[in-house]
């Protein structure tokens, strides 16, 4: 499973390349996900298809959400600058500092720098054959779920920043419905597979409750 990212200041998308059997498998899972999403039933869309491998389903959806969030953030990059967003935050109570193998100590960086680090980091996970194997029959690592939860936990922060800081811009661009649908899908998925601790969702807890309530009506 090889992924290709675009430049850091543009919306990136990930694309797979690999053997034919692997590509066909990934394509069918993606087609299933798209069809269930198209039905308007978001709860159905997150369920593991009968007979399918959980790790394959998690992997395909990780790529899909990565692409969605990249594209959503890409629409507001000109408004999310180091001057306008000097820290990565989700409102005044929540600030995120960056840490990875290169940045050992959590660093306070601007929102665009944080998102750039984040997307590059996720891309590196997707490109790693030891984590996201591209060949049929090659097993996912035993800690795959742990890696996935870390990816989703951090991707949530981009949604949180967009909602807390740039929602008025999203509305002015006519992207509100797209953002809300993407976020509802994301939340239903992480809840279905227990990918993010409740405390991590706190910045958007009220919004999450409201969106999920709409699905019950």
* 103 among annotated binding-site residues: no
Residue-wise pLDDT tens digits, 33-53? 455 444 457 888 899 988 889
**Domain range annotation of the chain:** 20-216
May I ask the CATH architecture of the domain 20-216?
A: Up-down Bundle (1.20)
pLDDT tens, N- to C-terminus, the chain (217 residues): 333 233 333 445 554 444 444 445 455 555 544 554 444 578 888 999 888 899 999 999 999 999 999 999 999 999 999 999 999 999 999 999 999 878 778 999 999 999 999 999 999 999 999 999 988 788 999 999 999 999 999 999 999 999 999 999 999 999 999 999 999 999 999 999 999 999 999 999 999 999 888 876 5
* 85 among annotated binding-site residues: yes
CA distances from 102 to 98, 99, 107, 131 (A): 10, 8, 11, 19
Q: How many CA atoms lie within 13 A of 106 on its CB side?
A: 5
Residue-wise pLDDT tens digits, 66-97? 999 999 999 999 999 999 999 999 999 999 99
Cβ neighbors of 190 (< 8 A, separation 6 or more) are 152, 156, 196
Measured at the alpha carbon of residue 180, what is the angle toward residues 189 and 9, in degrees to the nearest 5? 90
What is the number of H-type helices and E-type strands within the chain? 7, 2
């Amino acid at each position: 499973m090889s992924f290709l990212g675009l430049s850091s200041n543009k919306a990136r998308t990930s694309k797979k390349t690999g053997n034919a059997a692997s590509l066909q498998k990934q394509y069918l899972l993606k087609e299933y996900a798209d069809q269930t999403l198209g039905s308007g039933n978001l709860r159905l869309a997150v369920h593991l298809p009968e007979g399918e491998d959980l790790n394959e389903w998690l992997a395909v959806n990780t790529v899909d959400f990565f692409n969605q969030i990249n594209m959503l953030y890409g629409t507001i990059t000109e408004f999310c600058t180091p001057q306008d967003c000097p820290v990565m935050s989700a409102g005044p109570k929540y600030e995120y500092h960056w840490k990875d193998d290169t940045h050992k100590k959590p660093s306070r960086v601007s929102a665009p720098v944080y998102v750039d680090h984040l997307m590059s980091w996720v891309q590196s996970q997707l490109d790693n054959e030891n984590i996201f194997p591209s060949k049929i029959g090659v097993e996912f690592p035993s800690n795959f779920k742990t890696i996935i939860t870390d990816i989703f936990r951090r991707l949530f922060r981009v949604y949180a920043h967009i909602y807390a800081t740039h929602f008025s811009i999203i509305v002015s661009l006519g992207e509100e419905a797209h953002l809300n649908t993407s976020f509802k899908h994301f939340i239903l998925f992480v809840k279905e597979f227990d990918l993010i601790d409740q405390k991590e969702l706190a910045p958007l807890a009220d919004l999450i409750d409201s969106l999920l309530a709409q699905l019950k009506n």
